[in-house]
Structure 1
Amino acid sequence: MTATSTRIKHEVKDLSLAPLGRQRIEWAGREMPVLKQIRDRFAQEKPFAGIRLVACCHVTTETAHLAIALKAGGADALLIASNPLSTQDDVAACLVADHEIPVFAIKGEDNETYHRHVQTALDHRPNVIIDDGSDVVATLIQERQEQIADLIGTTEETTTGIVRLKAMFKDGVLTFPAMNVNDADTKHFFDNRYGTGQSTLDGIIRATNILLAGKTIVVAGYGWCGKGTALRARGLGGNIIVTEIDPIRAIEAVMDGFRVMPMAEAAPQGDIFITVTGNKHVIRAEHFEVMKDGAIVCNSGHFDIEIDLKSLGATAKEVKEVRNFTQQYQLPNGKSVVVLGEGRLINLAAAEGHPSAVMDMSFANQALACEYLVKNKGKLEPGLHSIPVEVDANIAKLKLQAMGINIDSLTPEQTEYINSWASGT
């Protein structure tokens, strides 16, 4: 598809949506002061001059600010969607029409189109890849080994993607550096907990318009995303059950005041089920069979494999759309199960994703991780690398300054004390 107003190649739904996208991007920018400061510095220093960069991300108003910052830094950037249902079409149109950034993303695109866009991204022969979920990296390794020589490195900010990268390294196929943005303190403490917690419930409410107070809500997984989801669901009056496989996280959930049990025990009790594990088939056929009539099932993990929809679809006598992003599966036992957002990320399928204020820090990490890779080209070993502590702390400092919050600093006496072993009782 080629626009009349630009020669930039792209595949978006409708360029006429650009004015609405521009308005929404500007609104998001009010809550993203840290990334703005980084963009202003990038515009002066041009750290990505001559760098071909591919970003496989959720195409949202917040991602737009990251893409604009990278281009300001001199990057030859191209953007594709990391999930078929997460694209905001007006944002995609604005990035093409107003910022001349090639975007290949359409909300609701089928799997064939999604994989074609992954190939389009690799056709760009990237030096740096930002990859939510590691689909681009996995495809590069599996199908385009000859392009690895072009690659400086990749960044990853999803739990699912980090799991895949660790598996790649274990298998000896991750032969280049990858920045673990997901585990930066200014990412997972805020984005995963507060961002996922709020946006997941926002998506459920938009899709169903149900009252959460008094409902039994089952949260599968008690990582940072699960913690945030359980916390916010309780805040809205839900009775929370947590399912876990990790004994330490399970104890933590108990001590946070939640009931903990296996999914087999939770399935007959829950009114709403939310998966945030990053694993496969957390809710399966044997769970659907014992659920209450009208139980609502949704996912806020990166991929749509956490709920076994194939077995549900094979069993169902009828499937019908009852609201936008809301499908009802009629089972042979006379009961129904309602699935939201086709089992994909409910916070992006039915809502707008994380609030801009938390994505400000997450995308600051992404931008600085890309800069770190380029500055250290050829110096980093293959495998996962953490965001430098000083970078993480500086992002937090900039965020506090933007919020008008001051904190204490150590006195010389305190500095001496914490660096000495001689002082005691």
Structure 2
Amino acid sequence: MEEYRIANPALADQGKIKIAWAWSFMPVLKLLQEKFKPERSLNGVKIAACLHLEAKTACLLRALKALGAEVMAAGSNPLSTQDDICAALVANGIRVYSWHGMTMDEYYGNLHALLAWSPQILIDDGGDLVTLIHKERSDLLPYIKGGCEETTTGIKRLKAMSNEGILAFPMLAVNDALSKHLFDNRYGTGQSVWDAICRLTNMLIAGKEVVVCGYGWCGRGVASRASGLGAQVTIVESDPHRALEAYMDGFNVTDMATAARTGDIFVTTTGNINVIRKEHFALMKNGAILANAGHFDVEISCIDLSEIAAKKSVTRPGVTTYTTHDGRSLHLLVEGRLVNLAGGDGHPIEIMDLSFALQLLSVLYIHENDLEPGLYPVPYEIDRAVASYKLEALGIKLEGMTPEQEQYLGRWEE
């Protein structure tokens, strides 16, 4: 079996510098590593991770190794993999199978290389690893104790598998933990999406008409940050409660056909397929920018874009311009892939400190407990502990309740 597949091992020193910077801003993950390292709590456990391979993820993988685990990793997105980070991880004794710009065949080939080591615990991002095991490597099921999933899209897939009764091992829904989705999905996505769009386009956001498709936690964050940058924001939503919430948060709310006529920048955050498609492209103004903040590159129909285009060209790194037969230019960012990671550095370090602390504690929980197959929430005590550790690191004190107050909350009589 191959120990690793990466682009260039000589990039390790460059990657180590980036990892050291991230580690210096991850106090919670650092605290957990220091707490559990003496026990070697994961000694000999084989952990396979399919994640975005960048500096913050490297900190999690190295922390797991410090706890004694045998760690192997593959990139969860061909454009988010950073080759210098992969090289640094390999130099640290972690098996890595990924490189920037993989084809989809190479991507799945790397997942198979990862699984050749018969992992016991999985850390997935989007559900591809879990799905592949169930579809093509069911021989591994007896060895797998469980795993964790950290994305909205991945949780949707796991719920569907669980509802059909085919999920063959326990998975913790890390994405649904309060310490994850309240901060990672909202503040992390909100900031990192606009960071990536600004990097890719070098355009001003103030004054632009921004259309955000979807008003879940990610959509809330993207819309809030767009408004803070001075944009006029319109929300497109299919759920009546979320649409009403967006309206009461001060945003314009309408359908896609209406929004398509006025938008300057479109951002999809739904996790669904073909959210922006041919009939919408036909209505857009010249110069519209299209970005996807969902996990998979299915929300903006690239097939439809190609069909309506008379010409397609790369007009700036990470920007593909489709020129329509009537002379309009529509600009698609990073091939419609996850814009904040394919076009930027992903979520801020301090946000991923929370998410990866949850991942580490969830891995320990899976290792230490025998659970039946199914999808489980992260235990509340783990979720609360991560938030408490973060507040402690920030020097923020909580107000404690008096015995009288605790007693009062437990009474039904005044």
Classify the TM-score, shorter chain.
over 0.9
Structure 1: state its 5+ residue gaps: 2-7
Q: What amino acid is aligned across from residue 12 of structure 2 in structure 1? A: A
- Which of 342, 348, 356 is 2:341 aligned to? 348
Q: CA deviation at 1:63?
A: 0.3
- Which of 21, 26, 29 is 2:20 aligned to? 26
User: Does structure 2 retain, via aligned residues, the 8 Å contact 1:42–1:69?
Assistant: no
Tell me how far apart the structure 1 counterparts of residues 407 and 25 of structure 2 sit (CA, whole Å). 38
Tell me how far apart the structure 2 counterparts of residues 54 and 164 of structure 1 sit (CA, whole Å). 19
Tell me how far apart the structure 1 counterparts of residues 300 and 374 of structure 2 sit (CA, whole Å). 30
Identity of aligned residues (%): 48
- Which of 391, 397, 404 is 2:382 aligned to? 391
The aligned residue for residue 84 of structure 2 is: 90
- Which of 336, 359, 366 is 2:352 aligned to? 359
Tell me how far apart the structure 2 counterparts of residues 162 and 44 of structure 1 sit (CA, whole Å). 33
- SS of 2:62's equivalent? helix
- Which of 32, 45, 56 is 1:38 aligned to? 32
- Which of 127, 131, 141 is 2:134 aligned to? 141
Tell me how far apart the structure 2 counterparts of residues 217 and 315 of structure 1 sit (CA, whole Å). 23
The aligned residue for residue 202 of structure 2 is: 209
User: Does structure 2 retain, via aligned residues, the 8 Å contact 1:42–1:70?
Assistant: no
User: Does structure 2 retain, via aligned residues, the 8 Å contact 1:216–1:272?
Assistant: yes
Q: CA deviation at 1:315?
A: 2.4
Tell me how far apart the structure 2 counterparts of residues 13 and 258 of structure 1 sit (CA, whole Å). 45
Give deviations 1:74-131, integer Å, cap 9, x for gaps: 111101000111112111111111x111111111111111010111121121111101
Tell me how far apart the structure 1 counterparts of residues 20 and 358 of structure 2 sit (CA, whole Å). 21
Tell me how far apart the structure 1 counterparts of residues 311 and 258 of structure 2 sit (CA, whole Å). 26
Q: What amino acid is aligned across from residue 278 of structure 2 in structure 1? A: A
Q: What amino acid is aligned across from residue 102 of structure 1 in structure 2? A: R
Give deviations 1:347-405, integer Å, cap 9, x for gaps: 1111100001000000001111111011002xx22211111111111111110111111
Q: CA deviation at 1:231?
A: 0.3
The aligned residue for residue 47 of structure 2 is: 53
Give deviations 1:25-49, integer Å, cap 9, x for gaps: 1111122100011112231112222
Tell me how far apart the structure 1 counterparts of residues 84 and 410 of structure 2 sit (CA, whole Å). 53
The aligned residue for residue 337 of structure 1 is: 330
The aligned residue for residue 251 of structure 1 is: 244
Give deviations 1:268-305, integer Å, cap 9, x for gaps: 11000000111111000111111001100010110101
Give deviations 1:111-158, integer Å, cap 9, x for gaps: 111010111121121111101001011010011112111110121010
Number of residue equivalences: 414
- SS of 2:71's equivalent? strand
- Which of 271, 280, 286 is 1:278 aligned to? 271
Tell me how far apart the structure 2 counterparts of residues 11 and 323 of structure 1 sit (CA, whole Å). 29
Whether 1:311 and 2:288 are equivalent positions in the alignment is no
User: Does structure 2 retain, via aligned residues, the 8 Å contact 1:318–1:330?
Assistant: yes
Whether 1:74 and 2:65 are equivalent positions in the alignment is no
Q: CA deviation at 1:222?
A: 0.4
- Which of 385, 393, 400 is 2:391 aligned to? 400
Q: What amino acid is aligned across from residue 66 of structure 1 in structure 2? A: L
Tell me how far apart the structure 2 counterparts of residues 172 and 343 of structure 1 sit (CA, whole Å). 32
- SS of 2:387's equivalent? helix
Q: CA deviation at 1:50?
A: 2.4
> TM-score normalised to the size of structure 2?
0.98
Tell me how far apart the structure 1 counterparts of residues 180 and 21 of structure 2 sit (CA, whole Å). 22
Q: CA deviation at 1:418?
A: 0.9
- SS of 2:175's equivalent? coil
- SS of 2:122's equivalent? strand
Whether 1:118 and 2:111 are equivalent positions in the alignment is yes
Q: CA deviation at 1:209?
A: 0.2
The aligned residue for residue 149 of structure 2 is: 156
Structure 2: state its 5+ residue gaps: none
Tell me how far apart the structure 2 counterparts of residues 233 and 171 of structure 1 sit (CA, whole Å). 39
Tell me how far apart the structure 1 counterparts of residues 239 and 24 of structure 2 sit (CA, whole Å). 39
User: Does structure 1 retain, via aligned residues, the 8 Å contact 2:267–2:292?
Assistant: yes
User: Does structure 2 retain, via aligned residues, the 8 Å contact 1:81–1:105?
Assistant: yes
The aligned residue for residue 421 of structure 1 is: 412
Tell me how far apart the structure 2 counterparts of residues 11 and 324 of structure 1 sit (CA, whole Å). 26
Tell me how far apart the structure 2 counterparts of residues 260 and 396 of structure 1 sit (CA, whole Å). 33
User: Does structure 2 retain, via aligned residues, the 8 Å contact 1:177–1:384?
Assistant: yes
- Which of 57, 62, 84 is 2:56 aligned to? 62
Stretch moving more, 184-193 or 314-323: 314-323
Aligned-residue CA RMSD (Å): 1.1
- SS of 1:317's equivalent? strand
User: Does structure 1 retain, via aligned residues, the 8 Å contact 2:97–2:111?
Assistant: no
Tell me how far apart the structure 2 counterparts of residues 297 and 264 of structure 1 sit (CA, whole Å). 15
The aligned residue for residue 295 of structure 1 is: 288
Stretch moving more, 45-54 or 78-87: 45-54
Q: What amino acid is aligned across from residue 95 of structure 2 in structure 1? A: P
Stretch moving more, 213-222 or 313-322: 313-322
- SS of 1:287's equivalent? helix
Tell me how far apart the structure 2 counterparts of residues 404 and 207 of structure 1 sit (CA, whole Å). 36
Give deviations 1:226-273, integer Å, cap 9, x for gaps: 000000000000000001111111010000000011111100110000
Deviation beyond 4 Å, 4+ runs, structure 1: none
Q: What amino acid is aligned across from residue 46 of structure 2 in structure 1? A: R
- SS of 1:68's equivalent? helix
User: Does structure 1 retain, via aligned residues, the 8 Å contact 2:40–2:66?
Assistant: yes
